[in-house]
Structure 1
Amino acid sequence: MPILDYFSKSTGDCVNSLTGFLFPIVDAAITKEKVPCLRPDGSMSQMEVCKDEWGRTVDCPRDDDDNEESEDRNNTFDDKCCSRMSPPQYADLGKKANDVFSKGYHFGVFKLDLKTKSESGVEFTSGITSNQESGKVFGSLSSKYAVKDYGLTFTEKWNTDNTLATDITIQDKIAQGLKVTLEGTFAPMTGSKTGKLKTSFANETVAVNTNVDLDLAGPIVDVAAVLKYQGWLAGAHTQFDSQKAKFSKNNFAFGYQTNDFALHTNVDNGKEFGGSIYQKVSDKLDCGVSMKWATGSTDTLFGVGAKFALDQDASLHAKINNKSLIGLGYQQKLRPGVTLTLSAAIDGQNFNAGGHKVGVALELEP
Structure 2
Amino acid sequence: MRAARPGLSACFSFSVSSSLRAGVQPGSSEPSKRTIPEKRAKQGLKMDREEDKKKGKETEIQMKESKPCSHCKTKKCGSMAVPPAYSDLGKSAKDIFSKGYAFGTVKLDLKTKSQSGVVEFSTGGSSNTDTGKASGNLETKYKVKELGLTFNQKWNTDNTLTTEVTMEDQLAKGLKLGLDTSFVPNTGKKSAKLKTGYKRDYMNVGCDIDFDLAGPTVHAAAVLGYEGWLAGYQMAFDTAKSKLAQNNFALGYKAGDFQLHTNVNDGTEFGGSIYQKVNDQLETAVNLAWTAGSNNTRFGIAAKYKLDKDASVSAKVNNASLVGVGYTQALRPGVKLTLSALIDAKNFNAGGHKVGMGFELEV
Q: TM-score, normalised by structure 2?
A: 0.79
- Counterpart of 2:141 in structure 1 is 144
- Counterpart of 1:128 in structure 2 is 125
Q: Is there any run of 5+ residues in structure 2 with no aligned partner, and where?
A: 1-55
- Select 1:243's aligned residue among 240, 243, 250: 240
- Counterpart of 2:52 in structure 1 is none
- Counterpart of 1:176 in structure 2 is 173
Within 2, Cα distance between the matches of 1:243 and 1:344? 45
Query: In the TM superposition, what are the counterparts of 1:285-300 in structure 2 within 5 Å?
Result: 285-300=282-297
Indicate yes or no: 2:84 matched with 1:88.
yes
Q: CA deviation at 1:299?
A: 1.0
- Select 1:233's aligned residue among 209, 222, 230: 230
Within 1, Cα distance between the matches of 2:67 and 2:232? 34
Count of aligned pairs between the two proteins: 301
Within 1, Cα distance between the matches of 2:128 and 2:196? 34
Q: CA deviation at 1:209?
A: 1.2
- Counterpart of 2:265 in structure 1 is 268
- Counterpart of 2:214 in structure 1 is 217
- Counterpart of 1:106 in structure 2 is 102
Indicate yes or no: 2:114 matched with 1:118.
yes
8 A Cα contact 2:109 2:361, kept in partner? yes
Within 1, Cα distance between the matches of 2:66 and 2:171? 36
8 A Cα contact 2:304 2:313, kept in partner? yes
Q: CA deviation at 1:134?
A: 1.8
Q: Is there any run of 5+ residues in structure 1 with no aligned partner, and where?
A: 1-25, 32-48, 52-56, 61-76
Once structures 1 and 2 are overlaid, which stretch shifts more, 182-191 or 114-123?
Answer: 114-123
Deviations along 1:82-128, one digit per CA (max 9) or x if unpaired, are x9521000000000111110010110000000000123521000000
8 A Cα contact 2:252 2:259, kept in partner? yes
Indicate yes or no: 2:164 matched with 1:167.
yes
What's the C-alpha RMSD, in Å, of the aligned pairs?
Answer: 2.4
Query: In the TM superposition, what are the counterparts of 1:266-345 in structure 2 within 5 Å?
Result: 266-345=263-342
- Counterpart of 2:255 in structure 1 is 258
Instruction: Classify 1:148/1:27 alpha carbon distance in 2 versus 1 (closer, same or farther; 3 Å).
Output: closer
Q: 1:150 is paired with a residue of what secondary structure?
A: coil
Q: CA deviation at 1:58?
A: 4.9
Q: Which amino acid aligns with 1:327?
A: G
Q: CA deviation at 1:216?
A: 3.8
8 A Cα contact 2:230 2:251, kept in partner? yes
- Counterpart of 1:203 in structure 2 is 200
8 A Cα contact 2:80 2:226, kept in partner? no
8 A Cα contact 2:125 2:135, kept in partner? yes
Within 2, Cα distance between the matches of 1:261 and 1:143? 36
> How high is the sequence identity, in percent, across the aligned residues?
56
Q: CA deviation at 1:59?
A: 6.5
Within 1, Cα distance between the matches of 2:196 and 2:307? 40
Q: 1:311 is paired with a residue of what secondary structure?
A: coil
Once structures 1 and 2 are overlaid, which stretch shifts more, 138-147 or 114-123?
Answer: 114-123
Within 2, Cα distance between the matches of 1:217 and 1:325? 43
Deviations along 1:18-50, one digit per CA (max 9) or x if unpaired, are xxxxxxxx979x79xxxxxxxxxxxxxxxxx95
